[in-house]
Amino acid sequence: MCGRFVASSPPADIAAYFGVDEVAESLLEPNYNVAPTNDVYVVYEDGGARRLDPFHWGFVPSWAKDLSVGNRMINARAETVATKGAFKSSLAKRRCILPVDGFYEWKKLPGQKAKQPYFIHRSDGEPFAFGGLWTQWHGPDKSGDQMTVRSTTIITGEPNDKMSEIHDRMPLILPTGAWDDWLDPGLTDLEVIGKFLVPAPSELIAFHPVSTEVNNVRNRGEHLIDEIDPS
């Protein structure tokens, strides 16, 4: 799964990198420990424009009674995303990209209960383009007033050889040449879309061990990605 990541780039830089036409007025603070249910930046196409907006991380289907359903849908498995009822429609019509500066995974250590966290980033220093889905939910807030929430999930799949050294899953990472088709709501052929659901090349990623401070979601500072000596 993918349950924590880094989103530290300024929105203007994200917009330029992903060819965004319109940027939301409500902006997010840099966060080096983004966790489920946080708001996250999403690149998507709507009304013929490519937009950058904050979405709720945790997919909330239209039929959900409340937002808590999204807590269990932070990821969508590539192996079943085309057949699972909650995701199938969004895979066909509402695909998106989550701009990510890196993410964390935890490696099991022989003979120890504790796991060692690692920071995974692109070897060339560029942002990741995580393949995701989005949807829109209408329902009551805590006071009973109606609200509209756009939410997202990250697609995960089998790891490449490099990633398998740490974990048995990895996020879908889209190459630059796939962005236009992936974001195109007019492309609805699930067989064609399925060709994007493959692991990124091993040479794309690098990683190093980081402090267990990242285990606490209240810690959000830049120091979390600093390499440590795990010994």
Whether residue 96 lies in the annotated active site: no
State whether CATH 3.30.565.10 applies to domain 5-215: no
Cα separation, 13 vs 149, whole angstroms: 25
Of the residues 2, 25, 29, 45, only one is catalytic, namely 2
Cα separation, 146 vs 168, whole angstroms: 40
Task: Please identify every stretch of the chain with a pLDDT value under 70, giving residue numbers as ranges.
Answer: none
Note the pLDDT of residue 113.
86
Cα separation, 104 vs 4, whole angstroms: 6
Of the residues 29, 45, 79, 105, only one is catalytic, namely 105
Cα separation, 167 vs 75, whole angstroms: 15
For residue 3, which of 85, 89, 148, 115 has the smallest C-alpha distance?
Answer: 115
Domain ranges of the chain: 5-215
Q: Which residues pair with 102 in a beta bridge?
A: 6
Backbone dihedral angles phi then psi of residue 183, each to the nearest 5 degrees: -85, -10
pTM over 0.85: yes
User: Most distant CA pair in the chain: distance in Å?
Assistant: 54
Provide the 8-state DSSP code for 173. Answer: B
For residue 89, which of 57, 154, 48, 135 has the smallest C-alpha distance?
Answer: 135
Cα separation, 215 vs 96, whole angstroms: 27
Cα separation, 203 vs 205, whole angstroms: 6
- Summarize pLDDT for 43-71 with one digit per residue, the tens: 999 989 999 999 999 999 999 998 899 99
Whether residue 2 lies in the annotated active site: yes
- Summarize pLDDT for 204-228 with one digit per residue, the tens: 999 999 999 999 999 999 999 999 9
